[in-house]
Chain A
Amino acid sequence: MRRWAGAVGRWLAHFGADLRASLDTGVLAVARFVGLLYGPIDPQARIDEALRKALRYRLPGHVTWRHALGGISYLLFMVLVATGVLLSFYYRPSVQEAYASIQFIVSRIPFGWLVRDLHVWAASLVVLAVLAHMARVFFDAAYKPPRETNWIVGLLLMFLVLAFGATGYLLPWDQWAYWTVSEVLDAIGRLPVLGGPLVGLLRGDAMVSGATLSRFFALHVIVLPWLALALLGYHFTLVRKHGVAPPKDPAAVARPPVPFFPHHLLRSFRVAVLVLAVAVSAAALFPRALGHPANPYQPPPELVSTWVPVDVSLALIRYAGGWGFALFTLLGLSLAFLPLFDRTPERALRRRPVVAMVGLVFFLGFGVLWVVGHGVRSVVPRALPARDMREELNPPPSPGLPLPERGPTPPRPAEPSGRGPGRS
């Protein structure tokens, strides 16, 4: 028995040594992706050494709860990845099966409802977390050189999050998803020069159809995740390279540094479990309702928004019109690109009144619009009268056949017979 145990122990020791020898720090990218590594990058270090160094790393003393927002965004992103993978086991991206597979997930799969609603809610919460993270960086002026590249990478990540949501929005293939995407693509198509070709690429058809569903699904589960992985790796690498931005208040520099392990990890763990609990609560208490199956010939009487950016857009279009929407988008874009031009070392908010105002209007406005937009239900304007399943469910006001069914269309007047000479 002892001989056996000794053999296994020797084999394990060999295996560990081989593994250590065969791995370089490039593998640490994985650890970096899952947010486990902090501190400066040392490409020469062996993997176990690098890990130990990372654990021994001490964060600056001014890192507080406000710095948790980036981590929360990342955590929610990981929740989306995990629930997304689970959903993809059952979801089928085709016109015939998409809606039914969602019904199957929700009603037949154990905890399918939880996985789906967690995915839906995490998609909304991640937008809020990313924006909050951006606001923190913006008001702290943490984007100033040398960290301006990371601001741009962060911006790209935010656009990726929006692209994830936009492509995922269509996948349930219900009336709300179908018509919201139709309306949005229609609006994009009206943008000059690039609008038409872009919509042609995204839609792949004259109208939102199975071709669009396939494209959105491919973007959602293949293209965007790889892009996100690459950008996240870059984002975290830059954070490690430049470290956390120094505090605005010079007095805070004096605070003693905090060890990454176990102090910071424990703090992160507390935030993570609370965020997860909040996401699960939202999923259990406010499940995402499903509309009727998508019907391209019958716009629904109301569009129920199920994603924060759609709420905000609905509120803007309803209360500020198309121009208001365009202005707010411009405000957001100017805020995004402002750091590229604001390169002075000044970081106090009081000395940056314009920047502070622009940021305040955008971030506060976004929050208010989200709350307002949640109650807005817009009717798709381009309605075509046709019977659909919904109308079938309208109980008649009294018994009897409502009225004779629509008869055949009266024949067109007889075309004059070509009797005249030379009639062509």
Chain B
Amino acid sequence: MMAAWLVSAWLAAAQPGGALQGVQDTAAYGCVICHADKRQAFQMGVHAERGIRCADCHGGNPASFEVRTAHAGRFLKRPTKIGTAQLCASCHSDPDRMRQYGLPSGQLAELKTSRHGELLFRGNPDVPTCTDCHDAHLIRPPVDARSSVYPANIAATCARCHENVSLMRKYGLPTTQVAEFRAGAHGVALYQQGNFAAPTCVGCHGSHAALPPKVTEIVHVCDRCHVELGRALHQGPHGPPAASGRLPGCLGCHTNHATERVPPDRIAATCTRCHAPESPAAQRGQVIQQQVVEATGELQAAAAAIEDLVRAGRPVTDERFRYQSALTAYQQIAEVQHSLDLDRLDDLVRQVSSLSRAIRSTEEAAAEQRWEHRLILVPVWFLALSAAVLAGFKLSDLKRRGE
């Protein structure tokens, strides 16, 4: 029995298996006998897992061990950039073949609409083709952390060219985008909080059809995630100019790659970037700033009051509920900041303030009670001192009497 088990284990170990062993299969992968440097990258890629062989892209005769015969026939040594796009598309544009993998088949068509594709098919050698972003051999799907198009790696992949100062100077493009993105709200969400809902470069620009959004499109790009804020913007006075392109959409206040947030105390200053300081619009900005600063202070005071209540050992279930209500109202202020509806703002700030006041009054009552507790010290010390003094009298009396 034991011997049979050992023999079967031995045989199982001797069997070739899976994609790794497949690459060693010389009839299909004879190429790696000479091209050992490509072997490891390719066998880690998704194509090796799907049973694609070197010859499926490069042609030649993988069964041959001689260079001449191996490279004979329809052999493609290193495809050109345009050739690469067409080579990939020979499979990836075929919906029938891509269906089983759940992959789209329009990448080449999309690429042609992008600035990259436009220049590529004009024969420009600077622009990327498929393999520049996806690698030629180590091709992994975007869900694989090793992939160059994994969400956390995309910015670095784009930066390979877009941070190249000399290259970008030729096209009049800036090179600070990636650094700004990393420091901005989206970059912080992605890299520091691991939030994969945050967009990377392709989230706003598209991947294969990469282009900067047009001025009139910016609002729609941001709207895709910031639905409520976009709707509020369209309802407010900034909606029509944003739609007609007179206002650069969200970028007017928030900039593009850095996605700057406008802190409460900078609201009025942001308005005066476009509006004259004494104009009614700037004055409205002042009012909004004042209200938002007030609401922020109220919310912070409520949070501090709850913290104090916790420390004092008070149950805070009700206060937490009120705080959540206040927080909800406070978060809705952001909408008003985009619709510039002062009545609604007033209403929301009032909600935050009244809830905060309720929380703080509970805390004040508790603090008052804590203070009252100290009053117990008056009778305690009175009794203790009188008892000690009386005992002292008695003692001295005993001593005096010589007992």
Chain A residues within 8 Å of B, Cβ to Cβ? 100, 102-107, 113-114, 259, 262-263, 266-267, 269-270, 273-274, 276-277, 280-281, 284-285, 287, 289-292, 389, 393-401, 403-414, 416-424
In the assembled complex, the Cα of A394 lies from the Cα of B21 at a distance in Å of 55
Q: Does B347 contact A (CB under 8 A)?
A: no
In the assembled complex, the Cα of A367 lies from the Cα of B92 at a distance in Å of 77
In the assembled complex, the Cα of A418 lies from the Cα of B15 at a distance in Å of 14
Count chain B CB atoms within 10 A of each CB in A263, A404, A408 and give the residue with the most: A404
**Is the beta-carbon distance between A281 and B185 smaller than 8 angstroms?**
no
Q: Which residue of A lies closest to B376 (CB)?
A: A284
**Is the beta-carbon distance between B373 and A413 smaller than 8 angstroms?**
no
Distance in angstroms from B364 CB to nearest chain A CB is 15
Q: Which residues of A contact B90 (CB under 8 A)?
A: none
**Is the beta-carbon distance between B303 and A403 smaller than 8 angstroms?**
no
Q: Which residues of B contact A280 (CB under 8 A)?
A: 376-377, 380
30 residue pairs A–B, Cβ–Cβ below 8 Å: A103-B313, A103-B314, A104-B315, A105-B313, A270-B387, A270-B391, A289-B311, A290-B312, A291-B310, A292-B310, A395-B327, A395-B330, A398-B334, A399-B264, A399-B296, A400-B334, A400-B335, A401-B331, A404-B198, A406-B193, A407-B195, A408-B196, A409-B196, A414-B141, A419-B18, A419-B51, A420-B18, A420-B21, A422-B17, A424-B17
In the assembled complex, the Cα of A358 lies from the Cα of B377 at a distance in Å of 40
Q: Interface code B303-347, partner A: CB below 8 Å = 1, 0 otherwise?
A: 100110011111100001001000100111111010000000000
In the assembled complex, the Cα of A285 lies from the Cα of B295 at a distance in Å of 34
Q: Which residue of B lies closest to A424 (CB)?
A: B12
Q: Which residues of A contact B12 (CB under 8 A)?
A: 422, 424
**Is the beta-carbon distance between B300 and A395 smaller than 8 angstroms?**
yes
In the assembled complex, the Cα of A408 lies from the Cα of B331 at a distance in Å of 23
Pairs A-B, 7 closest by C-beta atoms: A400-B334, A422-B15, A106-B313, A420-B18, A277-B384, A399-B333, A407-B197
Q: Does B16 contact A (CB under 8 A)?
A: yes
**Is the beta-carbon distance between B314 and A412 smaller than 8 angstroms?**
no
In the assembled complex, the Cα of A102 lies from the Cα of B310 at a distance in Å of 11
Distance in angstroms from B65 CB to nearest chain A CB is 23
Q: A263-B395, A281-B377, A393-B303 are in contact. Are A398 and B15 (CB under 8 A)?
A: no
Q: A285-B374, A290-B312, A422-B16 are in contact. Are A395 and B296 (CB under 8 A)?
A: yes
Q: Which residues of A contact B398 (CB under 8 A)?
A: 262-263, 266
In the assembled complex, the Cα of A407 lies from the Cα of B331 at a distance in Å of 20
**Is the beta-carbon distance between A281 and B143 smaller than 8 angstroms?**
no
**Is the beta-carbon distance between B18 and A100 smaller than 8 angstroms?**
no
Q: Does B299 contact A (CB under 8 A)?
A: yes
In the assembled complex, the Cα of A106 lies from the Cα of B312 at a distance in Å of 8
Partner of A418 from the list B18, B51, B373 (CB cut-off 8 Å) is B18
**Is the beta-carbon distance between A273 and B315 smaller than 8 angstroms?**
no
Q: Does B140 contact A (CB under 8 A)?
A: yes
In the assembled complex, the Cα of A270 lies from the Cα of B150 at a distance in Å of 77
**Is the beta-carbon distance between A114 and B376 smaller than 8 angstroms?**
yes
Q: Which residue of A lies closest to B380 (CB)?
A: A280
Q: Which residues of A contact B303 (CB under 8 A)?
A: 393-395
Distance in angstroms from B187 CB to nearest chain A CB is 11
Q: What would 13 more interface pairs be, CB under 8 Å, given A114-B373, A114-B376, A420-B21? A: A103-B314, A259-B403, A267-B395, A270-B392, A277-B385, A289-B311, A394-B303, A395-B303, A403-B193, A410-B143, A413-B143, A414-B141, A416-B19
**Is the beta-carbon distance between A107 and B313 smaller than 8 angstroms?**
yes
Q: Which residue of A lies closest to B308 (CB)?
A: A289
Q: A103-B315, A106-B314, A403-B189 are in contact. Are A281 and B370 (CB under 8 A)?
A: no
Q: Does B246 contact A (CB under 8 A)?
A: no
**Is the beta-carbon distance between B334 and A399 smaller than 8 angstroms?**
yes
Interface size on B, residues (CB 8 A): 74
Distance in angstroms from B61 CB to nearest chain A CB is 23
Q: Which residues of B contact A389 (CB under 8 A)?
A: 320
Q: Does B151 contact A (CB under 8 A)?
A: yes
Distance in angstroms from B310 CB to nearest chain A CB is 6
Distance in angstroms from A402 CB to nearest chain B CB is 9
Partner of B384 from the list A263, A273, A410 (CB cut-off 8 Å) is A273
**Is the beta-carbon distance between A274 and B332 smaller than 8 angstroms?**
no
Count chain B CB atoms within 10 A of each CB in A263, A270, A285, A400 and give the residue with the most: A400
**Is the beta-carbon distance between A398 and B22 smaller than 8 angstroms?**
no
In the assembled complex, the Cα of A277 lies from the Cα of B379 at a distance in Å of 10
Distance in angstroms from B236 CB to nearest chain A CB is 15
Q: Which residues of A contact B193 (CB under 8 A)?
A: 403, 406
Q: Which residues of B contact A400 (CB under 8 A)?
A: 229, 331, 333-335, 337
Q: Does B263 contact A (CB under 8 A)?
A: yes
Q: Which residue of B lies closest to A417 (CB)?
A: B49
Q: Does B388 contact A (CB under 8 A)?
A: yes
In the assembled complex, the Cα of A406 lies from the Cα of B197 at a distance in Å of 7
Q: Which residues of A contact B263 (CB under 8 A)?
A: 397-398
Q: Which residues of A contact B300 (CB under 8 A)?
A: 395
In the assembled complex, the Cα of A413 lies from the Cα of B149 at a distance in Å of 13
In the assembled complex, the Cα of A292 lies from the Cα of B151 at a distance in Å of 37
Q: Which residues of A contact B299 (CB under 8 A)?
A: 395
Count chain A CB atoms within 10 A of each CB in B51, B384, B387, B394 and give the residue with the most: B384
Q: Which residues of B contact A274 (CB under 8 A)?
A: 384, 388
Count chain A CB atoms within 10 A of each CB in B198, B388, B398 and give the residue with the most: B388
Q: Which residues of B contact A420 (CB under 8 A)?
A: 16-19, 21-22
Q: Which residue of A lies closest to B11 (CB)?
A: A422
Q: Does B108 contact A (CB under 8 A)?
A: no
Q: Which residues of B contact A417 (CB under 8 A)?
A: 49
Q: Which residues of B contact A410 (CB under 8 A)?
A: 143, 150-151, 196
In the assembled complex, the Cα of A413 lies from the Cα of B139 at a distance in Å of 12
Q: Does B110 contact A (CB under 8 A)?
A: no
In the assembled complex, the Cα of A395 lies from the Cα of B302 at a distance in Å of 9
Q: Does B237 contact A (CB under 8 A)?
A: no
Q: A107-B313, A422-B16 are in contact. Are A401 and B143 (CB under 8 A)?
A: no
Distance in angstroms from A241 CB to nearest chain B CB is 28
Q: Does B144 contact A (CB under 8 A)?
A: yes
**Is the beta-carbon distance between B381 and A277 smaller than 8 angstroms?**
yes
**Is the beta-carbon distance between A413 and B296 smaller than 8 angstroms?**
no
Q: Which of B362-390 contact A (CB under 8 A)?
A: 366, 370, 373-374, 376-377, 380-381, 383-385, 387-388
Q: Does B99 contact A (CB under 8 A)?
A: no
Q: Which residues of A contact B22 (CB under 8 A)?
A: 420
Count chain A CB atoms within 10 A of each CB in B18, B22, B383 and give the residue with the most: B18
Distance in angstroms from A66 CB to nearest chain B CB is 17
Count chain B CB atoms within 10 A of each CB in A263, A280, A397, A420 and give the residue with the most: A420
Partner of A423 from the list B17, B229, B337, B381 (CB cut-off 8 Å) is B17
Q: Which residues of B contact A394 (CB under 8 A)?
A: 303
Q: Which residues of A contact B323 (CB under 8 A)?
A: 393
In the assembled complex, the Cα of A289 lies from the Cα of B307 at a distance in Å of 11
